Chains A and B, each alone.
Chain A
Amino acid sequence: SQQGEEDPQALSIQEGENATMNCSYKTSINNLQWYRQNSGRGLVHLILIRSNEREKHSGRLRVTLDTSKKSSSLLITASRAADTASYFCATAHFGNEKLTFGTGTRLTIIP
């Protein structure tokens, strides 16, 4: 079963704009990870944030984590057409590190 939900389910923006996706989860976590998936392809790891971290940056990506609200957000700045994909958050559990994925946000960048 899915751990939580992502919001919005779909997002369309103009190239160059910023895209923000949100993720909520239900249980305690070791870390939270964001992945990108192009249609019909495998998952590409974007960024990992640990439960004791609040914010992390990687290139045009910025991730925040609020463990008190059990939520995370992914910000993609200066979007490009190549950013068009589905984005998933996934929470890793202590011990077994298995990932529980959200339902995903389908991002479309309009050139």
Chain B
Amino acid sequence: DTGVSQNPRHKITKRGQNVTFRCDPISEHNRLYWYRQTLGQGPEFLTYFQNEAQLEKSRLLSDRFSAERPKGSFSTLEIQRTEQGDSAMYLCASIPFEGEQYFGPGTRLTVT
């Protein structure tokens, strides 16, 4: 257990529905990252926050995706109008400022 938690651990949804995932980082960590991992591939960067500010978004993050980190604490990742191609493991990680990233267990999304 790294101290980073993610909920839910699994989510099955029908195409077209909206889903929201939550990440609770280690409390004193300033930076929070979201990654997406598809089967057989390494994780790919989606976006990151420094405190409450979203500083960078990957082009993988289409306009159907939105992320927030209110008050610089937990973060949420919402996907609107889900598509089958959104099926993946969504990973969250946090760091104080730099160094090793502490990953949560991930949320596995299946879009049917």
Contact = CB atoms under 8 A, between A and B. Distances in A.
Contact of B98 (A30, A40, A41): A30
Interface residues of A, number: 25
B12 to A, nearest CB: 15
A1 B43 CA distance: 9
Given A42-B91, A43-B103, A103 B42 contact: yes
Contacts, number: 66
A2 B33 contact: no
A98 interface: yes
Contacts of A44: 2, 103
Contacts of A101: 35, 42-44
Given A40-B108, A97-B95, A99-B35, A45 B101 contact: yes
Contact of A104 (B33, B42, B100): B42
Contacts of A30: 98
Q: Is the interface of B mostly helix, strand, loop or mixed?
A: strand
27 contacts: A2-B41, A2-B42, A40-B89, A40-B108, A42-B2, A42-B104, A42-B105, A42-B106, A43-B91, A43-B93, A44-B2, A44-B103, A45-B101, A48-B100, A88-B42, A92-B98, A96-B55, A98-B45, A98-B48, A99-B35, A99-B45, A99-B93, A101-B42, A101-B44, A103-B42, A104-B41, A104-B42
Interface of B: 2, 31, 33, 35, 41-45, 48, 55-56, 89, 91, 93, 95, 97-106, 108
